[in-house]
Structure 1
Amino acid sequence: MTGNPHLAARIERAGLKQDELANRLNQRIEDLTGQVGKLTDRHVRNWVTGKTRWPQARQRVVLEEEFGATAEELGFIPPAGRTRAPSEDPLRRRTFTTTAAASLAAAALLPAAPSNGSRRVGMTDADRLERNFVDLVQADNESGISVKLETRALTHAQHALDLQAVGYASTRVRQRLYYLAAAFTGTALWAAVDSREAQRASGHLNQAMKLAGMAGSSEMQMRLWGHAALLSYQQRHLPDALAAAAAGTRQHICRQDPLFRSLASARLAGIQSALGDPTPALRSLEVAEKAYARADREEERAPWMAFFDRAELDGLSALVFGRLGKHAESEAHLHRTLARLRPEYRRNRTYYGLNLALSQLAQGELEQAYATVLPHLPAPGKRMTGRTGNLLEQFGQGLTRTAPKSRIAVEWADRHAEGEEHR
């Protein structure tokens, strides 16, 4: 069950509890039909968790009225081939506006209205949003991606867009708000990609690209092309992944700042190596190394770029060598990555630790690979999902394939069985 972060973001944005939303919707049902609604917090919980993917028609109507958005925009998914019945149309005659989507609770976050009654949105509002973006980036680095983080990112993106509608703002402020909306949506995109939720990720990607274009930010577009490349790679659409990664290297920011060029080139090398052709991959990796050497690491950059340092470049290089079958080189880079990785980057430590175990396993170092993977295993009753969960599955499959009757393989199978029992 993947959940519905779009609806969760709207509810969080409105400052509502699940039972409060149910009560508001029941009142709308009574206004609409003359009969008291019977929704409870359980209905709302089922919507948010994804257990109910397409509510009943009357429920959809009042949800759309409450949030000023269609059911699809709220993250609900109609059954295959399902279209709205004509009988639903009279219930949808009310006009939904952006203002209707902003709740009274959310209004407290908007800038105060001056005495003349008009509203003015300024850099102070944008600065507050950017501080929240920094907090989200830190949460990603420290705790890893989750649906909750995706929801928070979408909530802030919506707030950035709401600020555009409350009154006057200069062109410079509006561009920055579009940039921040793109940044938050890009974080939601990354959360969905890391969780391997392709459908949600694709929706976030389209919205983020549109917002980055309106912001006129080649830096944000470069970030998004990198996420687009990984998304296509996960879906095994390798030509699309290659085109997206190459598009990232062509952004103006890569000509302006060698650190961005280094990151974009390393990502391109990763996709090229997945295609199995070592020459262009190693050439792109060389470009990444040279660009990194030229970059001024003390220069101030966007908060999301803080992760890209020598440890991360070594990690991306390790992935390239691993995909090319150069497992000894991959292992050497991974050791350097883990030695240099900053303590707060716990998610990356798990990710690269599991890759190190896979590299050692590929070289036949069963004992060492098993010792490497053990500290990264989830606690009993827990499970890894997304990219890290996929790596753990690869390790188990590789262990079974390499030495199915070994002591380590038997112990691994027993441990996996115990984990299933605790779920």
Structure 2
Amino acid sequence: MKERGLSAGALAEHVNDAMADLTGHRGAVTERTVYRWLSGENRSPQDRQWQALEAVSGLPGTDLGFVPRARPRPATPSARLEDPVLGRRSFISVATGAAVAVSTGTATAATRPIVGHSDVDRLRVLLAELWLLDDQNGGGPVLEKRAADLAARTLSLQQHGSASQRVRSRLYAVAASFTAFAMFSAIDARRLGEAQRYLEQSVTLAGLSGDGQVQHQTWRYAAMLAGQRGRYADALAAAEACTGTRAHRTDPLYASLTHSRIALTAASLGDKTRALRALDRAHGAYDRADPAEARPSSVAFYTRGELHGLTGITHYRLGEAEKAEFHAHRCIADLRDDQHRNRAYYLSQAALAQVAQGDVEQAVATATRVIAPTGADAGRVPHLLGSFTSALNQAAPKSAVTRQWNDRTRTA
């Protein structure tokens, strides 16, 4: 029970379901029955209960600590079938790149693998690994597909595994997080049609999970997607939806994320007063946040440096290039060494701010430091560099440094 995250009530329900599959009649095991087994008051369960316990656990009754009754017992389904926990053992191999084996089609409670909290924790490790790769190289089709595959496999465990209600909620949350990651990767690669499809799936899964952190993540990405499509009213509505999540209400870090997203969108709408007010709230909430608090890997990127980066983009959209450059440099100085994509992104933002101030030579020197993430030929960083090239040619079309930059980008 401890290993698989089952309460006494949850185990009782699993046993009752297994009895229904074995005999056609659902059992009447209760929490009290389970407590009697745990205490040793009842060390010889009834035949149907014994068979159901073996089917649910995949272990002989004697290994569970029970004493057989005097008369011989019939062979149980678990003795004739493959180990019911084979699906769980196969699932563990995902971490080393092997395929996930999941029951399909006609699985019953007697043959379904039991899914516990430890399985969910292994999934979350895989999710954290995806975010680390994203920090290093940015999103793209490869990470997008990997996340989508893991989301599908998680949902297969949800559909074909046997789990407590708490574990099922966590499975929905992880599936929503994998789908949201796939959406973020699609946004990063500017595959907006695919991102919209992932958004619809993620909203549904996040709602089923009841997890405020995952719901906050999904609405943040919805705001990003709408912003990339130029639908700023929708982007603002999605950012405001974050305020209704439990994560926003209870964790100042999430509240800071909410306000920084509102600031970006308000700036795009030309609402300077609201944008600056949201920035003040974002910085104030971040000051109240506990950086040591355990949080999902999806918000590990959000450091004070990242807040400065988003602040710089907001000022750039408001036409305040000098402030934008200041905050971009504050961000770059605070980035972790492994955040290659973000460094390239904010260097590009700094270069845009410099060319907006007419400092074209420094702008080109800054843009030259940008190394786009590996394989990122159609993502946010290359798109920003394209915007920089356009701005540079508009600001100083006949400058020698502009000609050199154009030659460099053509060669690249």
TM-score range, shorter chain: 0.7 to 0.9
Paired AA for residue 405 in structure 1: K
Instruction: Return 5+ residue gaps in structure 2 as ranges.
Output: 1-86, 92-97
Single out whichever of 113-122 and 354-363 deviates more from structure 2. Answer: 113-122
The residue aligned with 2:68 is: none
Say whether 1:139 aligns with 2:133. yes
Residue in 2 that maps onto 1:412: 405
Q: Secondary structure at the match of 1:297?
A: coil
Q: 1:277 to 1:118 in 2, by over 3 A?
A: closer
Match of 2:377 in 1: 384
Write the distance in 2 (CA, Å) between the matches of 1:316 and 1:302: 20
Q: Percent identity?
A: 41
Match of 2:354 among 357, 360, 376: 360
Contact map agreement 2:372 2:382 (CA 8 A) in 1: no
Structure 2: distance between partners of 1:235 and 1:114: 46
Using the TM superposition, give the Cα deviation of residue 106 of structure 1 relative to its aligned residue in structure 2, in angstroms: 4.0
Aligned counterparts, 1:259-338, within 5 A: 259-338=253-332
The superposition leaves residues 344-379 of structure 1 with CA deviations (integer Å, 9 ceiling, x where unpaired) of 111100000000000001000111101101021559
Residue 162 of structure 1 pairs with residue 163 of structure 2: no
TM normalised by structure 2 equals 0.73
Task: Give the superposition deviation at 1:383.
Answer: 6.4
Change (3 A) 1:370 1:258: same
**Number of equivalenced pairs:** 315
2:122 paired with 1:128: yes
Matched, 1:216 2:189: no
- Are the structure 2 counterparts of residues 334 and 123 from structure 1 closer, same or farther at C-alpha, using a change threshold of 3 Å? same
SS of equivalent residue, structure 1 residue 384: coil
Deviation of 1:337 after TM superposition, in Å, equals: 0.6
| CA distance in 1: counterparts of 2:368 and 2:258, whole angstroms | 32
Structure 1 segments unaligned to the other structure (5+ residues): 1-98
Give the aligned residue type for 1:396.
Answer: T
Classify the secondary structure of the residue corresponding to 2:300: helix
Q: How far apart in 1 are the matches of 2:323 and 2:116?
A: 51
**Mapped partners of 1:320, 1:115: distance in 2:** 54
Per-residue deviation, residues 153-205 of structure 1 (Å, max 9, x unmatched): 01110111010122321000100000000000000000011111111000000
For residue 139 of structure 2, give the secondary structure of its aligned residue in structure 1: coil
Contact preservation (8 Å) 2:138, 2:188: no
Following the alignment from structure 2 to structure 1, what is the Cα–Cα distance between the partners of residues 151 and 266? 33
1:394 Cα deviation after fit:
0.8
Cα distance in structure 2, aligned partners of 1:292 and 1:417: 42
**Letter aligned with residue 243 of structure 1:** A
Return the alpha-carbon distance in structure 1 between the equivalents of residues 145 and 375 of structure 2: 22
Distance 1:165 1:272 in 2: 41
Distance (Å, rounded) in 2 between the aligned partners of 1:177 and 1:222: 17
Letter in 2 for 1:203: R
Superimposed CA distance per residue, residues 263-295 of structure 1 (whole angstroms, 9 cap, x where no aligned partner): 110011000001111100000110101101111
2:177 pairs with 1:189? no
C-alpha contact (below 8 Å) 2:252/2:285 kept by paired residues: yes
Tell me if the contact between 2:109 and 2:162 (Cα under 8 Å) persists in the aligned partners: no
Return 169-178 or 137-146, whichever deviates more. 137-146
Equivalent position of 1:69 in the other structure: none
Q: Distance in 1 between matches of 2:151 and 2:262?
A: 28
Distance change >3 Å, CA 171–CA 116, structure 1 → 2: closer
Q: Deviations over 1:289-336 (max 9, x none)?
A: 110111111111111111111000000100110100111111111111
Distance 1:190 1:167 in 2: 28
Q: In structure 2, do the counterparts of structure 1 residues 265 and 383 end up closer, same or farther at CA, with 3 Å as the change threshold?
A: closer
- For 1:401, the equivalent position in structure 2 comes to 394
Q: Which residue identity is paired with 2:354? A: Q
Give me the whole-angstrom Cα distance separating, in 2, the residues matched to 1:340 and 1:239.
Answer: 32
Question: What residue in structure 1 maps to residue 335 of structure 2?
Answer: 341
1:383/1:224 CA distance change after superposition, 3 Å:
closer
